[in-house]
Amino acid sequence: MSPQYLDAPATPWVRCPEPRPQARLRLICFHPAGGGPTMYRTWPQSLPADVELLAIQLPGRESRIAEPHLTTYQDAVEQAHAAIMPFLDRPYALFGHSMGAMISYGVALAAQREGRRAPSRLLVSGCAAPAHIRRRPERLEWDDARLVQELRAMGGTSPEVLAIPELVEMVLPTLRADYRICATFSHPQDEQLDCPVAVFGGTEDTMSQESLARWADTTRADSSLRMFPGGHFFLTNAAAPDVLAGIREELAEVR
């Protein structure tokens, strides 16, 4: 089955901002809680010509706004893993930020466990190692005002969006559903990946550098940690060019 690009109805999970059919490698990116694939739309411009970026889109946002949200981690992993199957006809790496890192980790484990083509690399960003993740169930009880306060503090949503009540009203149901996915996160403590793991973190984020470094425990291969100036969304601020340079370095190692 050949990959379906852009808004093809057969693959609502996968967006390809710049198709590169002759690419030697695919970079499959997972968005954070409350986000969507649009955050990766400009990344192809900073990637080598032989790397094709695919952005995963969970239901309930952007072009899938009318679909019911997923609310459990296991459903998100299983459905995302099934969705990328047609795109694994060549080597690939997984990248995920925050909740996206959690889901990409689960997808990497699922691919390895089922004996399918496993990722050549797992790149995780803004997320503590599985054994150090705080599930924070209290967020599930927050009212709208408290959720908006959280969005402002994390810096991943523009002030212009937060100033428009209609847009906030559209964002909050997605954020609540994604927080449920995070609250149901689980991981096998006796299972390790075979691929290298590269970790990206912000120096002003709330998680400790030690909790990021413990991603080394999830793999039998090499691991690395890069820190960048900024808070939780360091990859969208002034550090973005350096983050993308780090990603290019990791992908250059994939042969």
Buried b (16+ CB within 10 A) or exposed e, 205-219: bebeeebbbbbeebb
- How many Å apart are CA 255 and CA 233, to the nearest integer? 30
> Angle, to 10 degrees, between the axis of helix 165-183 and the axis of helix 144-154?
80
H or E element that contains 112: helix 99-113
Query: Could you give the residue numbers annotated as active site?
Result: 98
- How many Å apart are CA 196 and CA 247, to the nearest integer? 13
Enumerate long-range contacts of 38-46, CB under 8 Å, 24 or more apart.
38/62, 39/236, 41/17, 42/17, 43/17, 43/244, 44/17, 44/18, 44/20, 45/18, 46/241, 46/244, 46/248
> What tokens does 104 get?
């990409």
